[in-house]
Amino acid sequence: MLTVRDLVKRYDGGKVQAVAGVSFEVPESQFFTLLGPSGCGKTTTLRCLAGLERPDAGEIVLARRTLYSDREAIDVRASDRGVGLVFQSYAIWPHMNVHDNVAFPLTVGPRRRRLSKREIRERVEHVLSVVKLDELAARPATDLSGGQQQRLALGRALVMQPPLLLLDEPLSNLDARLREEMRVELKRLQRELNVTAVYVTHDQVEALAMSNTIAIMAEGRIEQIGPPREIYQRPASRFVADFVGGANIIDGVVARREPNNVLRIETPIGPLRAVSTFPYVAAARVLVVVRPEHVTLSANDLGQDGGNSWRGRVLGTGYMGDTVDHIVTVGVLTLRARTAPQASAVHGTEVTVGFAPADCVLVPGDG
C-alpha cells in the first residue's frame, strides 16, 4: 500500500541529516507507528509523506502512485496527494465553525471533481457523526474542548476518504485520562473505516497499544521494525531496549554454551545464565536485557532461579498503586525491579534479586 524507500532529508544546506535513509512498507488498512524520542526524524518523515517537506532523496509510493522519487524527478504537491493529516496542534481554523472546518477539503479541489452542495452536506454530516460532533456542527471551532478539537481535526482529515491517514502526535496535547479514551477511540475508528494509518509518537504506551507494526527511530534511522510484542520482548539494540519500557541492560561476554540453548555469560556482577537460540560464539560481547517486571525480590537468602540471583540493597522505592518500583544496587550495577505491592521490599533493606534465564534477552554488544 505505502512504500517508503531510502528516504533522506537534510537541513541547513545538508549539514544536518534529519532523515538518513528510512525504508518501510505499510500494508493496506494497517496501523503503522513511527516511535522515537524528539528530534529522531519521525515527524520529518511524516511531513515528507504529506508533501509538506521535500525529501533530498528516496522514493514514496502510495497505492502504486509515485508521490516522490528523486530518480524519476517526481514530487506531487501536498495539495494533490489526497492524504489526510492530523496535526499535533490540531490546526483547527478558528475563523470557521465546526461544519466549515470539515467541509473545507471538499470545497477546494479541482472544480471538475467537486461534489454537489447536497453531497458535501451529507458527507460532512456523516463524518461529524462518526467523530461524534454532529450536535456541535454550528459551533465556532474555538468553543470546542481539547478532545473535541482533536476529533474535529480527525474528521477533517477523514472527510476526503483518503487512502492514507497521517497522525502527528495527535494525543500529546490531551490530559492523561482523555488521552487514554482517545487512544481507544482512534484505534476503533481506524479499524472501522479500514483506513491505512501512519502514526507518529514518542509515547511507547500509545505505540504498543495501537499499532500493528512499530518502527523505532533514532537519529534519523530506523532501529527496529516489528509488531509491538516483538519490539517489547525482543529488542534488537540497546537503544530499543532502553527506549521501550526502560529495561535493565547488563554488559557481558559469552563464556560458554550449555544445553537447552542456555548461555553462560560473564558480567560485572558475576556469571549469569540466559536463554538464546542465536548462535553466539564464546567471547562475543552481548547485552543482557531484563524487563523490570521480570526481576524478583525476596527476603530469603540466595535461592535457585537457575543461578541468576544476587544479594542487593534497596536504594529507593516508588509506589505506583498497582505496582511498586524499586531501585536496587547489586555490586556495581543499579537494577530496576517492578513487583506487586505485596511482593515489594522495604527501603534500605538487603534483598535477594533474581530473574529467570528465559526472561533474559540477548542483544549483540556495542562495538
Which residues are at the interface with another protein (CB under 8 A)?
50-54, 77-85, 87-95, 104-105, 108-109, 142, 153, 156-157, 160, 173
Region of 137 (left: φ > 0; alpha: ψ -120 to 50; beta: rest) is: alpha
Q: Which is nearer to another protein, 81 or 294 (CB)?
A: 81
CB of 107 to another protein, least distance (A): 9
Q: State how far the Cα of 209 lies from the Cα of 25, in Å rounded to an integer.
A: 20
SS3 42: helix
Q: Which is nearer to another protein, 31 or 90 (CB)?
A: 90
Q: Which is nearer to another protein, 24 or 93 (CB)?
A: 93
Q: Which is nearer to another protein, 90 or 310 (CB)?
A: 90
Q: Which is nearer to another protein, 136 or 360 (CB)?
A: 136
Are the C-beta atoms of 187 and 210 separated by less than 8 Å? yes
CB of 124 to another protein, least distance (A): 13
CB of 172 to another protein, least distance (A): 10
Q: State how far the Cα of 216 lies from the Cα of 30, in Å rounded to an integer.
A: 17
CB of 294 to another protein, least distance (A): 37
How would DSSP label each residue in 44-98? HHHHHHHTSS--SEEEEEETTEEEEETTTTEE--HHHH--EEE-TT----TTSBH
CB of 269 to another protein, least distance (A): 43
Burial readout 285-296 (b: 16 or more C-beta within 10 A, e: otherwise): ebbbbbbbbbbb
**Closest residue by Cα to residue 80 from 45, 50, 44, 117:** 50
Residue type at 306 in one-letter notation: G
CB of 223 to another protein, least distance (A): 24
Q: Which is nearer to another protein, 141 or 263 (CB)?
A: 141
